[in-house]
Amino acid sequence: MTDPLFQQDAYLRTAAGQVISHTEEGGLVLNQSVFYPTGGGQPGDTGALSWDGGHLNIINTVKGEAGAIVLIPEPDAALPPVGADVSQSLDWDRRMGHMRIHTALHLLSVVLPLPVSGGAIGAEKGRLDFNMPEAPEDKQALEDALNALIARDLEVTERWITDAELDAQPDLVKTMSVSPPRGSGRIRLVRIGTQSDQIDLQPCGGTHVNRTGEIGAIRLGKVEKKGKQNRRVYIHLVA
């Protein structure tokens, strides 16, 4: 099992680590990881590893078995041996883009309070698929509402609940296509706003900014029809 350092501090850019195994597919597993693995619509992190006598680029990060986080190296790269101490370095600009977009998508689900059937996160844009038979009548009003929430510079925090507590509050789950990660006995909730002035609360294993002001201005992109009952709504970072 890999200790997911990004859950403790999403702003951690570098960290030490030790190689605990290689995978049959050519990946490697560390005892702790600053790299976020693909999941919940958020792409796996990229970056680099260095060690005594070696360096390689990490082109993706995925989930392995039994809680392992697998780093995918560039093709034909020489891997550090099992037991080697390494230094991890994150592609920070890309991760920060993911954090800004991911948090903005949580807010999009507030200004469009409809069931979510899918989503995807990029470093500069993202989208949510809504159970929405008709397209929004006023896209500008939605964009203005979204940016107004961002400009309030709301705090983004987390807390943990048990599987049983989530089962007792099924309305917390907004995304129909992605189930909250289970198996550890507890589930992470991400809150935007304070307990007394809560804007959003939902299960999420991804990385987020600490305050909504860090997102910056958002532009609402195209709205695509993806079936009789669904619309895909895109958002873009302005800068």
Name which of 41-45, 170-174, 189-193 the model is least confident about: 170-174
Q: CA-CA distances (angstroms) from residue 33 to 29, 87, 171, 237?
A: 9, 10, 32, 27
Smallest CA-to-CA distance from 97 within 60, 127, 123 is with 123
Q: Read off the tokens for 238.
A: 């302005």
Measured between its terminal Cα atoms, the distance across the chain in Å is 37
pLDDT at 140 (0 to 100): 96
Give the residue with greater pLDDT, 164 vs 70: 70
Residue 176 has pLDDT above 60, yes or no: no
111-149 pLDDT per residue, tens: 999 999 999 999 999 999 999 988 888 999 999 999 999
User: Residues 63-87: what's their mean pLDDT?
Assistant: 96
Rounded to two decimals, the pTM is 0.92
Better-scored residue on pLDDT, 209 or 180: 209
Task: Please determine, for residue 15, whether its predicted confidence score (pLDDT) is greater than 90.
Answer: yes
Q: What is the pLDDT of residue 135?
A: 87
